[in-house]
Structure 1
């Protein structure tokens, strides 16, 4: 069977049309986010671990030796200055007082006797009944007896004082710690520590600053790059062990005059008013995280950390040059707590820096915002 010629022409047209392919369209331009950078003042926050100390950390130490007879307080409570805390066995000191009083009575009698003898010899001097030597001897005996009497009186007062010291009293007002001894135990005067009394209102937070940070702050202030608080009186924020934040808890009020020889750190201390804290009160021995505020980096550029890249040669950022990308070498600075980073050098005002999408582009590539 023969087909009409036009069918062959139609089939040939369809075959040729199916073999022809159009060129694929060019890939879409990468979308990026960019920000125009301008220098401005930025607060930089230093952070260090710290420990809470009581402004008053008074050790309770007895002034006489003996056996603890009785405990007169409840541990962990607030005690007042001069409040009785312990009773030490008083009997040895009571007997010592009685012995001193007996010696005082003997010395008083001897003093009276030598005074009478001296007065008698003195009255007989003008009558040529006694010699000058006898008078002088009587005077010396009387003066010696008077000296013994004063010594005996001092011994009585000392015995009374020791008897009073048998009642161990609080050296200051504050919260008293757990006891370190028990009833019946022997204690030694000026050696055995019985408790510690901590202040309840004011607290210290002690922390250490590495030498490199100290030098950076000092040199930055001298160079005019940093605005440093006067006398390093930084405002202190605290973070507690459970993450609770305590903003503006206090101020740095002490900095050491030397750097530690053993570990190369600079000791600082912040003063905290416990009564002014809105919620959590600090306790001595508590560990906290210290944040030092009020240090300002002047005329600085800040970028998100993800906008700064590094190759084998240097750190760099991507900047827009028209609608194309180019690399710009930079010198990054310190990291900030909000996820951004200071840029110490390499940027100028008005540069448009790519802040998002930089991992998908290359230098010279055309992009769209």
Structure 2
């Protein structure tokens, strides 16, 4: 190849390399510039997207309720167990052979009803013997009285000795004493004869018979059966010591009005959830706190004329009669849990403003507010899921007709209170 051609080819290769290098530098510079612009403009663009009318989501549509203070009937529920108002062990007062059982096991009996019959023959014989002894004692007394009456005028005329008269008077006194002793033995024999019929000492439900016909009953040492008085019925339950302290603290603060002498009215909820139609009263509340359960033993009395309640049933005991004064209720769904505790959102100037609260008892689907809110505060009760950060823009929606009653509605019934967790 000629030398001139070689030099021309070398110049072309060098020019091509320089052009490729220049193109690469320009592309790299363009990419760096674009990256810098994206980084610099990113926050402003994101902020622009979050603003209404700038391509961001619309304000959260929420439902707001205005809190209303009202006097609220407070109910407290505990687990209880029924028991008879009186439990009696039935025992025979005399020993003898059991002839008959005169009641149905597990059935109802009336006071004075015959439950058992013992063999009365030996007791009838003892009674007859005692009557005979009384008759003999009466005859001896009559003889002694006649003798004394004969000797009295003779003694006054000194026709008999004073010793004979004194002996006659003493004989009459001894005859009187013997007659009283014979009458006492007859009364005892009559009682033993009556005791051969074992009667119910009260009206109630009879338990299982512990003996059968033909058994030799060893008097009071043998248990025959038990009777339980079921009208009225007693209900025993435990009141948490913390609840009693809370009642007293809230009463001292003027937030709670207790019935006089803490005489709560008692309502019974049965195992199937139904409410027993008759109300009772609190009879007893112990002054000691159980070291095992931390509760105070309490006892109530409930009428049970129809025998619906049975001894040993587990029931829910509801204490009524306390009133929460100027109570504020907020729906449970409106109370949220945050790092610092419970809070709610208030509607303020078109924004969702968080407000920390302290709640007490739970009444149905509502919390009782102890502090943090006041009557008239606009609390957001629906739409919190669309509030992504405090101060987010909101739009208040109208509550549809027929919606559920909101907190603070005085017409809403109060359910059983549950302590706040």
Q: Do they fold alike, i.e. is TM over 0.5?
A: yes
Residue of structure 2 in register with 1:267 after alignment: 298
Q: In the alignment, is the contact (CA less than 8 A) between 1:327 and 1:363 conserved in 2? A: yes
| Residue-pair matches, total | 342
CA apart distance, 1:41: 1.7
Q: Gaps (5+ residues) in structure 2? A: 1-37, 50-54, 397-421
CA 1:191/1:234 → structure 2, altered by over 3 Å: closer, same or farther?
farther
Residue of structure 2 in register with 1:178 after alignment: 208
CA 1:194/1:215 → structure 2, altered by over 3 Å: closer, same or farther?
farther
Match of 1:352 among 375, 378, 389: 378
Q: In the alignment, is the contact (CA less than 8 A) between 1:232 and 1:252 conserved in 2? A: no
Match of 1:328 among 330, 342, 355: 355
Give deviations 1:89-142, integer Å, cap 9, x for gaps: 323323432442343344334333433443343343134343223322321222
Residue of structure 1 in register with 2:189 after alignment: 159
Of stretches 135-144 and 118-127 in structure 1, the one that deviates more from structure 2 is 118-127
User: Over the residues paired in the alignment, what is the CA RMSD in angstroms?
Assistant: 3.1
Distance 1:238 1:253 in 2: 12
Distance 2:299 2:259 in 1: 14
CA apart distance, 1:29: 3.8
Match of 1:37 among 24, 45, 67: 67
Distance 2:346 2:133 in 1: 99
Q: In the alignment, is the contact (CA less than 8 A) between 2:236 and 2:297 conserved in 1? A: no
Does 1:138 pair with 2:168?
yes
**Largest Rg, 1 or 2:** 2
**SS of 2:353 mapped into structure 1:** strand
Distance 2:189 2:183 in 1: 10
Does 1:364 pair with 2:391?
yes
Residue of structure 1 in register with 2:308 after alignment: 281
Does 1:254 pair with 2:283?
yes
Residue of structure 2 in register with 1:16 after alignment: none
Q: In the alignment, is the contact (CA less than 8 A) between 2:230 and 2:304 conserved in 1? A: no
Distance 1:41 1:91 in 2: 73
Runs of 4+ in 1 over 6 A off after TM superposition: 21-24
Give deviations 1:52-108, integer Å, cap 9, x for gaps: 344565543333233322111222334333222211232332343244234334433
CA 1:255/1:223 → structure 2, altered by over 3 Å: closer, same or farther?
farther
Normalising by structure 2, we get a TM-score of: 0.71
Does 1:216 pair with 2:246?
yes
Distance 2:95 2:333 in 1: 68
Normalising by structure 1, we get a TM-score of: 0.79
CA apart distance, 1:329: 2.0
Match of 2:141 among 111, 115, 130: 111
Q: Gaps (5+ residues) in structure 1? A: 1-20
Residue of structure 2 in register with 1:245 after alignment: 275
Q: In the alignment, is the contact (CA less than 8 A) between 2:330 and 2:369 conserved in 1? A: yes
Match of 2:334 among 307, 313, 322: 307
CA 1:45/1:266 → structure 2, altered by over 3 Å: closer, same or farther?
same
Distance 1:255 1:80 in 2: 28
Distance 1:217 1:188 in 2: 55
**SS of 2:303 mapped into structure 1:** strand
Residue of structure 1 in register with 2:325 after alignment: 298
Distance 1:43 1:99 in 2: 72
Of stretches 65-74 and 232-241 in structure 1, the one that deviates more from structure 2 is 232-241
Residue of structure 2 in register with 1:12 after alignment: none
Q: In the alignment, is the contact (CA less than 8 A) between 2:266 and 2:300 conserved in 1? A: no
